[in-house]
C-alpha cells in the first residue's frame, strides 16, 4: 500500500494508532465518575454506536443511561426508543430528570424495520439519542449501517443486545457488558452492577468497574418470608390454582393476543396435578414480555 | 386598470397529466364535437387548424394524437392559475373560455409600477409551464379583447408614468377588426355584411341606430369595451377545502407513472395552502382504476409547515404499501380539515442546538410502519401506576408540574397489565425465586374508579433483577407491576 493511501486512511479518523496522542473526540459524561475514569474519552462517545450487552432486560440499563438521557433531553433533539421490551414508566423517568416530552417510542414488527427506523431517526438529525433494542442475532451488517448513520448525524446511538453476543465481533465503537446487581455482604449490604468494557475507542479495553446503580437500596429493609401477605391464600391451595390460572389466561389474551395458553398447563392444572417445576417451566415459555421480544427476561 | 391573462393552449395543457415531454415530440390536438379545438405547435406546422374535421386532420398528419376535451380539468387548471395570481390582486375574474382578468390598479403602488408587476405575474406563471398572453386595458372587456394581440400592442396605451392613456387606448381598440370582438358569430357576420371592418367604424354610429340594427346586447358590449358602461363581473373566491382530480389520457400501470400526476396535484395543493395560509395535516388520495373500483389511502403529517418535498415523499412511502391491481385511470386529492398555519416566533439570540426539532422523520416512520407505530409518553395524575403513565399516538399536551403520587423507588419499566405471580410453598415464583427486599408501600382507596388496595414491594429475583410487585388485598393475589431497568 502506498503511503498516500495510508495517509488517506488515517485522515478518516477510523483507525486508531497507539503512538498517537489523544485525539479530541466528543463525548458526554456518563454521570458515573468511576465509569468515566475507565473510558479513554471520559463518557459516551458522540456520533458513534455504543453497545450494551445484557443478560436480560431490566438489569439496570436505564439507570446506567439515565444521566445521559437527562442531559440530552434538556437540549434540542428528540430521544428515540426503538422497540423497547416494556412500556417506559413516565413518573419514574421524570424523577430521573428526563424530559418525557422529548421521548418518542417506536414499535416495529420486523428486524428490517427496526434497523430502517433507527437509520431514519439518526439521519433525520432531529434525534440526539437513539436507543435500539436488537434481537439475539448476529447483525453485524446492520450494525455497520447504524454506525454510519450515527457518524453521519453525530448523535448518540445505543444498542441493547444479549450478552451471548459478546464473543462475536461488532462494529460498535464502544461495547460494554452490564451484569445484574449483586449484593456485597462485605460492604454493608451495598449492591453493585459490574460493567466490563469489551471494546472502547482511544486505547486498551478490558477494564471492569463496579457501579452502584441503585444507591437508594440501602434504605430498603428486607422482610422475612413469614411476614409476606401470602399466608391467607396458602390455606386454600386448590382455589388459588384455579384463580391464578384464570387470571393468567386473561392477562395473556390482553398482552399477547396470538399466544395461546399452553394446553398442557391448563389440563394439568384442571386435574390438580400442577407441580412447582411445571408451573415454573411453563411460565418460563410464557413470560416473554412481548410476542416478538428478542430474548426472555432470564 | 385590468390585466388579462389568456391561456391559448388551455384545452391541451389541461390534459397534460402524464409527463411534460410528450407534447413537444408529437402532433397533438383536442377535439370537441368532432372538430379540432386546439392544436399544439407541431400539429399547426402540419397545417392543422382549429375548426377542421377529424378526417381532415388525419389526412394532413397520420400520426396526430387526438384527445377529447375535458372541461372539468380545464376549469381546474384555470382555478389553479387564479390561485397563483390571487396574491397580486384579490379581484380576479375567471372567464370559462380560458381568460383570467385581474384588477391591478390598487396593486401598482405595492409593486412599484406596472413593469415590475408584470414581471411578477410572469414569474408566477412560468412556474406552471403554461402558455399565456397578457394584455392591459381600462375595462375587463377591453382587456379580454386585447389579450388576443401581443402585449406590446396594448402597452402602446400605457403612458411613461405607467398609467393608461384613454385616448390612446381608444385608438388601438378602434383599429382592431370586428372579428376580434367576443360576440356571437351571427352578430359579427351582420357587421361584416354591412361593410364594417374595424371596431372604430362601429363606434362612430349613433347609439340608437346601432341598437336598432344590431340589438341591445351588441350595444352594451361596445359600450363596455370603451369603458362607457359599468361592467360588473363575478369575482373568484378561493374555496375553503381542496379537492382536485386528474383523469389520465392513457392508463397507468405502475407506481412510477403516478409520480408526475401526484406531483402536479401536490404542487396545486401547496399553492392553495400558501394562499389560504393554512396547513394540511391529512391528505386523502383516491386512485380510480379501470375496473371502476377506488383505492383510497391517506397521508398524515405531524409537522406544521407547507413543503412540497415532504408531501411528495410521504405520499410515495404510503403508496408503496398498496398493490396496484388494475391500471389506474384517474387520481384525486382531497385536503379537508385545514388548520391555521402556526407562525412560530423565535428568539433572535436563541441558543441553537446541534439537533433540530423537525418531526418529519416521525411522519416517514408512520408512513411506513403504520400510524400507531410512533408513540409519545405522558404523565397523568392518577393513583394507580398503570394509569399514571400513558402512551399515545397524538402529540400530547406537555405534561409539566403534575403532582403525582410518585414515590421514590419506582421502576422505569412498567407492564401494561400487571402479571400474576405464583406463590407456592411460601415462595414467590416467576421463572425463578423472588425475594422481597423492601417494606410495603400501600396504594389504596381508588374508590371513585375501581377500588384497589395494593401493597407494593421491591423484590429481587434470583438472577439479580429487581422487580416491583404488589399483593392485591382484594383479589388476594400477587402481581408483577414493573421491572427496574
Q: For residue A291, with 0-12 CB atoms within 10 Å meaning exposed, 13-18 middle and 19 or more buried, which class applies?
A: exposed
pLDDT value at residue B228: 85
* Confidence category of residue A266, pLDDT binned at 50, 70, 90: very low
Q: Does pLDDT of A279 surpass 60?
A: no
Instruction: Provide the shortest C-alpha distance from residue A182 to chain B (in Å).
Output: 6
- C-alpha–C-alpha distance, residues A255 and B102, integer Å: 63
A-interface mutation test, from B412, B437, B441, most A Cβ less than 10 A away:
B412
Q: What is the pLDDT of residue A51?
A: 93
User: Residue B304: which pLDDT band, with cuts at 50, 70 and 90?
Assistant: low
Is the predicted pLDDT of residue B104 greater than 70, yes or no? Answer: yes
Q: Reduce the secondary structure of chain A to three states and give it as a string.
A: CCHHHHHHHHHCCCCCCCCCCCCCCCEECCCCHHHHHHCCCCCEECCEEEEEEECCCCCCHHHHHHHHHHHHHCCCCEEEEECCCCEECHHHHHHCCCCHHHEEEECCCCHHHHHHHHHHHHHCCCEEEEEEECCCCCCHHHHHHHHHHHHHHCCEEEEEEEHHHCCCCCCCCEEEEEEEEEEECCCCCEEEEEEEEEECCCCCCCCEEEECCCHHHHHCCCCCHHHCCCHHHHCCHHHHHHHHHHHHHHHHHHHCCCCCCCHHHHHHHHCCCCCHHHHHHHHHHHCCCCCCCCCCCC
Rg (CA), chain A: 23
More confident residue, A56 or B25: A56
Using CB atoms, which residue from A124, A127, A279 is nearest to B422?
Answer: A279
Position A177 confidence tier, pLDDT thresholds 50, 70, 90: very high
pLDDT at A263 over 50: no
For the ranges A143-152, B264-273, B380-389, the lowest mean pLDDT is seen at B380-389
Please give the share of chain B, as a percent, with pLDDT higher than 70: 91
**What confidence tens digit (pLDDT) does each residue in B425-436 have?**
777 888 888 888
Give the Cα separation of B394 and B377 in Å (integer).
10
Q: How many CB atoms lie within 10 A of CB B377?
A: 24
Residue B352 is placed in which grid cell? 441553537
How would residue A248 be classed by pLDDT, with cut points 50, 70 and 90?
Answer: very low
| DSSP-based three-state secondary structure for B429 | strand
pLDDT in tens, A65-115: 999 999 998 888 899 999 999 999 988 888 888 988 889 999 999 999 999
Burial category of A14 from C-beta neighbours within 10 Å (exposed 0-12, middle 13-18, buried 19 and up): exposed
Q: What is the ipTM of this complex?
A: 0.72
Question: Per-residue pLDDT averaged across A144-157, rounded?
Answer: 90
At residue A292, φ and ψ (nearest 5 deg) are -100, 15
Count of beta carbons in the 10 Å neighbourhood of residue A155: 29
CA distance linking residue A174 with residue A200, whole number of Å: 4
Residue A234 pLDDT greater than 70, yes or no: no
Angle at A18 between CA A14 and CA A24, to 5 degrees: 55
Give φ, ψ of A180 to 5 degrees.
-65, 165
Least Cα distance to B461 among B430, B439, B485 occurs for B430
- Which pLDDT belongs to residue A294? 46
- Read off the pLDDT of residues B195-215 as tens digits, 9 standing for 90 and up: 888 888 888 888 888 888 888
Q: What is the mean pLDDT of chain B?
A: 82
> How many Cβ atoms are within 10 Å of B263's Cβ, its own excluded?
15
Nearest CA in chain B to A83: B373
Ramachandran sector of residue A240 (left: φ over 0; alpha: ψ -120 to 50; beta: rest)? alpha
Confidence band for A254, pLDDT divided at 50, 70 and 90: very low
CA distance A62 to A135: 18
Is the pLDDT assigned to residue A53 strictly greater than 90? yes
Return the C-alpha cell found at B47: 397545417
Q: What is the DSSP code (8-state) at residue B21?
A: S
Q: Is the pLDDT of residue A290 over 60?
A: no
C-alpha span between A18 and B195 (Å, rounded): 103
More confident residue, A14 or B283: B283
CA distances from B20 to B128, B249, B316 (A): 11, 13, 20
Three-state SS string over A182-193 comes to EEECCCCCEEEE
| Residue B187 burial (10 A CB sphere; 0-12, 13-18, 19+) | middle
CB under 8 Å to A94, separation ≥6 — which residues?
A100, B379, B406
Give the pLDDT band (50/70/90) at residue B411: confident
Closest CA in chain A for residue B410:
A92
pLDDT at A153: 87
Chain B: give the shortest CA distance to residue A224, in Å: 8
- How far apart, in whole angstroms, are the C-alpha atoms of residue B33 and residue B290? 25
Residues B240-261: pLDDT tens digits?
888 888 888 788 888 888 888 8
Q: How confident is the model at residue B461 (pLDDT cuts 50, 70, 90)?
A: confident
Task: Find the closest chain A residue to B402 by CA distance.
Answer: A91
Q: Name the grid cell of B332.
A: 384525486
pLDDT of residue B398: 52
pLDDT at A226: 67
pLDDT value at residue B150? 86
In chain A, what residues touch B453 (CB-CB under 8 Å)? none
* Model pLDDT, residue A117: 93
Indicate yes or no: CB of A93 within 8 angstroms of CB of B432: no
Average pLDDT for B32-42: 83
CA-nearest residue to A93 within chain B is B412
Chain Cα centroid distance, residue A208: 18
Q: Do A220 and B360 touch (CB under 8 A)?
A: no
Q: What are phi and psi of B219, to 5 degrees?
A: -65, -45
CA distance B96 to A269: 80
pLDDT at B85: 87
Q: How far apart are CA A86 and CA B482, in angstroms?
A: 9
Res A262: pLDDT: 39
Residue B47 is predicted with a pLDDT of 83
CA separation for the pair B153, B175 (Å, rounded) = 11
Alpha-carbon gap: B439 to the closest alpha carbon of chain A (Å):
6
pLDDT tens figures, B161-198: 778 888 888 888 888 888 888 888 888 888 888 888 88
Q: Which of A237, A297, A251, A296 is nearest to B423 (CA)?
A: A237
Backbone phi and psi for residue B101, each to the nearest 5 degrees, phi listed first: -120, 130
pLDDT band at B58 (very low <50, low <70, confident <90, very high): confident
Question: Using an 8 Å Cβ cutoff, are B97 and B2 in contact?
Answer: no
- pTM of the complete model: 0.61
Are B379 and B404 within 8 A, CB to CB? yes
Is-contact B288 B328, C-beta < 8 A?
A: yes
**Contact (CB<8Å) A60/B485:** yes
Across the range B3-30, mean pLDDT stands at 75
Whether the predicted pLDDT of B222 surpasses 50: yes
Query: If pLDDT is split at 50, 70 and 90, which confidence band does A185 have?
Result: low
Amino acid at each position: 500500500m502506498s503511503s498516500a493511501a495510508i495517509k488517506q486512511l488515517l485522515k478518516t479518523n477510523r483507525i486508531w494508532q497507539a503512538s498517537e496522542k489523544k485525539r479530541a473526540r466528543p463525548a458526554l459524561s456518563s454521570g458515573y465518575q468511576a465509569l468515566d475514569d475507565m473510558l479513554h474519552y471520559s463518557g459516551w462517545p458522540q456520533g458513534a454506536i455504543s453497545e450494551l450487552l445484557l443478560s436480560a432486560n431490566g438489569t439496570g440499563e436505564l439507570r446506567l443511561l439515565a444521566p445521559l438521557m437527562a442531559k440530552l433531553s434538556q437540549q434540542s433533539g428528540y430521544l428515540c426508543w426503538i422497540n423497547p421490551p416494556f412500556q417506559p414508566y413516565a413518573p419514574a423517568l421524570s424523577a430521573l430528570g428526563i424530559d418525557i416530552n422529548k421521548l418518542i417510542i417506536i414499535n416495529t414488527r420486523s428486524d428490517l424495520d427496526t434497523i430502517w427506523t433507527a437509520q431514519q431517526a439518526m439521519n433525520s438529525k432531529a434525534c440526539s439519542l437513539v436507543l435500539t433494542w436488537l434481537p439475539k442475532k448476529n447483525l453485524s451488517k446492520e450494525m455497520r449501517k447504524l454506525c454510519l448513520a450515527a457518524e453521519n448525524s453525530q448523535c448518540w446511538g445505543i444498542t441493547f443486545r444479549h450478552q451471548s453476543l459478546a464473543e462475536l465481533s461488532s462494529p460498535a465503537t464502544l461495547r460494554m457488558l452490564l451484569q445484574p446487581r449483586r449484593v456485597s455482604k462485605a460492604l454493608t449490604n451495598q449492591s453493585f452492577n459490574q460493567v466490563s468494557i469489551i471494546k472502547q475507542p482511544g486505547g486498551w479495553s478490558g477494564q471492569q468497574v463496579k457501579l452502584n446503580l441503585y444507591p437508594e437500596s440501602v434504605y430498603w429493609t428486607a422482610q422475612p418470608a413469614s411476614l409476606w401477605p401470602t399466608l391467607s391464600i396458602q390455606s386454600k391451595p386448590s382455589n388459588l390454582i384455579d384463580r391464578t390460572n384464570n387470571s393468567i389466561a386473561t392477562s395473556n389474551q390482553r398482552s399477547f393476543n396470538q399466544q395461546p395458553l399452553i394446553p398442557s398447563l391448563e389440563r394439568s392444572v384442571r386435574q390438580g396435578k400442577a407441580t412447582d417445576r411445571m408451573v415454573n417451566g411453563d411460565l418460563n415459555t410464557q413470560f416473554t414480555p412481548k410476542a416478538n421480544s428478542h430474548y426472555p427476561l432470564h | 386598470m385590468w390585466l388579462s391573462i389568456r391561456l391559448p393552449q388551455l384545452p391541451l395543457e389541461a390534459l397534460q397529466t402524464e409527463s411534460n415531454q410528450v407534447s413537444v415530440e408529437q402532433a397533438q390536438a383536442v377535439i370537441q364535437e368532432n372538430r379540432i379545438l386546439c392544436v399544439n405547435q407541431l400539429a399547426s406546422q402540419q397545417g392543422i387548424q382549429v375548426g377542421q374535421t377529424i378526417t381532415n386532420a388525419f389526412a394532413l398528419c397520420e400520426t396526430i394524437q387526438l384527445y377529447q376535451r375535458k372541461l372539468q380539468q380545464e376549469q381546474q387548471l384555470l382555478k389553479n392559475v387564479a390561485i397563483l395570481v390571487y396574491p397580486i390582486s384579490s379581484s380576479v375574474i375567471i372567464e370559462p373560455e380560458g381568460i383570467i382578468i385581474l384588477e391591478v390598479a390598487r396593486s401598482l403602488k405595492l409593486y412599484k409600477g406596472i413593469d415590475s408587476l408584470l414581471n411578477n405575474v410572469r414569474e408566477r406563471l412560468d412556474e406552471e409551464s403554461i402558455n399565456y398572453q397578457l394584455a392591459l386595458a381600462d375595462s375587463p372587456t377591453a382587456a379580454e379583447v386585447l389579450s388576443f394581440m401581443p402585449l406590446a400592442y396594448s402597452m402602446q396605451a400605457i403612458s411613461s408614468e405607467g398609467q393608461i392613456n384613454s385616448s390612446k387606448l381608444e385608438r388601438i381598440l378602434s383599429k382592431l377588426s370586428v372579428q376580434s370582438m367576443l360576440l356571437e358569430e351571427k352578430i359579427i357576420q351582420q357587421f361584416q355584411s354591412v361593410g364594417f371592418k374595424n371596431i372604430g367604424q362601429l363606434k362612430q354610429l349613433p347609439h340608437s341606430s346601432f341598437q336598432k340594427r344590431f340589438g341591445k346586447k351588441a350595444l352594451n358590449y361596445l359600450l363596455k369595451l370603451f369603458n362607457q358602461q359599468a361592467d360588473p363581473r363575478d369575482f373568484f373566491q378561493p374555496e375553503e377545502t381542496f379537492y382536485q382530480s386528474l383523469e389520465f389520457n392513457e392508463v397507468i400501470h405502475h407506481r412510477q407513472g403516478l409520480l408526475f400526476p401526484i406531483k402536479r396535484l401536490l404542487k396545486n395543493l401547496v399553492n392553495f395552502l400558501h394562499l389560504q395560509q393554512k396547513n394540511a395535516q391529512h391528505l386523502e388520495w383516491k386512485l380510480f382504476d379501470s375496473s371502476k373500483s377506488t383505492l383510497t389511502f391517506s397521508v398524515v403529517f405531524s409537522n406544521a409547515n407547507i413543503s412540497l418535498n415532504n408531501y411528495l415523499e410521504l405520499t410515495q412511502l404510503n403508496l408503496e404499501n398498496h398493490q396496484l391491481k388494475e391500471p389506474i385511470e384517474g387520481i384525486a386529492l382531497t385536503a379537508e380539515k385545514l388548520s391555521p398555519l402556526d407562525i412560530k416566533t423565535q428568539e433572535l439570540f436563541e441558543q441553537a442546538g446541534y439537533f433540530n426539532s423537525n418531526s418529519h422523520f416521525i411522519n416517514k416512520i408512520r408512513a411506513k410502519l403504520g400510524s400507531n407505530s410512533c408513540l409519545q409518553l405522558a404523565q397523568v395524575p392518577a393513583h394507580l401506576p398503570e394509569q399514571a403513565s400513558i402512551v399515545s399516538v397524538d402529540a400530547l399536551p406537555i405534561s409539566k408540574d403534575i403532582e403525582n403520587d410518585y414515590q421514590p423507588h419506582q421502576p422505569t419499566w412498567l407492564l401494561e397489565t400487571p402479571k400474576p405471580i405464583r406463590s407456592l410453598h411460601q415462595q414467590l415464583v416467576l421463572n425463578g425465586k423472588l425475594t422481597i427486599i423492601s417494606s410495603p408501600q400501600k396504594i389504596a382507596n381508588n374508590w371513585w374508579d375501581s377500588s384497589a388496595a395494593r401493597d407494593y414491594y421491591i423484590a429481587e429475583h434470583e438472577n439479580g433483577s429487581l422487580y416491583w410487585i404488589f399483593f392485591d388485598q382484594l383479589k388476594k393475589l400477587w402481581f408483577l407491576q414493573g421491572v427496574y431497568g
